[in-house]
Amino acid sequence: MSAPRRVKIVTTLSLAVVFIAAATWIGLGQAFSSIHTFDAFKGVGSRPSNISGALNFLVVGSDSREGLTAAQEKALMVGSTKSAAGGRSDTMFIVHISKDRSKAVLVSLPRDSLVTVPEHIGFDGKTMVSATKAKLNAAFAWGGAPLLINTIEQSTNIHIDHYIEINFLGFTSIVDALGGIQVCSKVAINDPKSHLVMAAGYHILDGIEALKYVRTRDFDGLGDIGRMQRQQQFMGSVLRKATSAGVLLNPVKLLNFFNAVLSTIKTDSGLNQNDMISLGQQMSKLSAKKVATLTIPLSNSNGSYPGLGSVVIWDPVKSVDLFNRLINDRDIYDVATPSPSPSASKASAKASPSPTAINKFNTITAADNPCGKIHY
């Protein structure tokens, strides 16, 4: 696969959550009409029900070059819209917002996940293609948002309420509107495929450099798994920056941020202004420490399947456990309360032992140290 076809972008929970939550600070007004909406659920057949009242967004990164100038295409080394014809999405997240709107969970879905793509209409618009095993990113390439939604719902039994898609231009515009995003790398990066050269340590990246950072995958031997870890760190940095006083109390920055978001995303046609404003008001007190990110539990990050080559295989036990928690809007952490030590004094025994959260899904939060969670 050529370098341009390897280009990936991160479409983040932080962007989705901030976009939703910031509606409480400024009215969307007529600006909402600038969002490109479409029927993302067209033709999606039998679907799981939403039984909890929580909301699940599917947030997707499209590698569309639409809107990029020739200079931007050259700087990113991604090729032109013509050279990259055809829909591809290699960055996908389920964003789960709890029923009480006090917590959010982002689950990264690896692009090479082995899934069953349901029966669908072929490229000719007439022929029915039988259900088949494939990589998750193939569902978007074959049938766009509707087939991707159908595939994810059938694979997880999670009801997808809304769809958000962002392309290269949207990503770079949002980062630039925030005045750049801080990242941290424990090691120096020199990736000839993403064209990112960066020393170890902290850096403030503009939109172009940030796009290179979130798509780099070939410098550390961790491939997509390492890239998803960096993307999750990046999400936290965007969320912290976008909800900081420096943005929220600066009308110019806030307006630039909203214009960047509103003018460059695509959403399902069911996501209307009133719903967004209401949800934003409900989520106005959502904090970074209440936003958890994780990768879907895996049993093999370098498996294989006949005819597909290398694939990512989900853990059949832990992934189902995670799905059930999201379906029923239950906490992703287990809580253990230790018993008092037999040798403890009577006075200390009267005190209740402190409960401990069990992080079985290797979750991090948007409030975590950006240099503290990636392990090389």
Of the segments 31-40, 88-97, 312-321, which one has the largest average pLDDT value? 312-321
**Residue 163 pLDDT:** 94
Please give the mean pLDDT across all residues of the chain: 79
**285 burial via Cβ count (<10 Å: 0-12, 13-18, 19+):** exposed
Tokens of 276: 């967004």
The confidence band for 29, taking pLDDT boundaries of 50, 70 and 90, is low
Coil, strand or helix: which one is 6?
A: helix
Residue with tokens 């709890």: 98
Most confident of 29-33, 52-56, 168-172: 52-56
Q: Is 40 a residue whose pLDDT tops 90? A: yes
The alpha carbon dihedral of 67, 72, 78, 80 has a sign of: positive
The most confident of the ranges 30-34, 46-50, 84-88, 354-358 is: 46-50
Q: Which tokens belong to 309?
A: 């080559």
Q: ∠ CA(167), CA(172), CA(176), 5° rounding?
A: 150
CA distances from 365 to 106, 229, 246 (A): 10, 12, 21
Ordered domains of the chain (ranges, CATH): 4-333 (3.40.630.190)
Element (H, E) at 18: helix 13-21
Summarize pLDDT for 182-220 with one digit per residue, the tens.
888 888 888 888 788 999 989 999 988 988 888 887 777
> Does the structure show a pLDDT above 90 at 32?
no
Strands of the chain (E only): list them: 36-38, 55-62, 89-97, 104-109, 114-117, 120-121, 128-129, 132-135, 162-166, 181-185, 189-191, 196-198, 201-205, 265-268, 291-295, 298-305, 309-314, 334-336, 356-358, 364-365
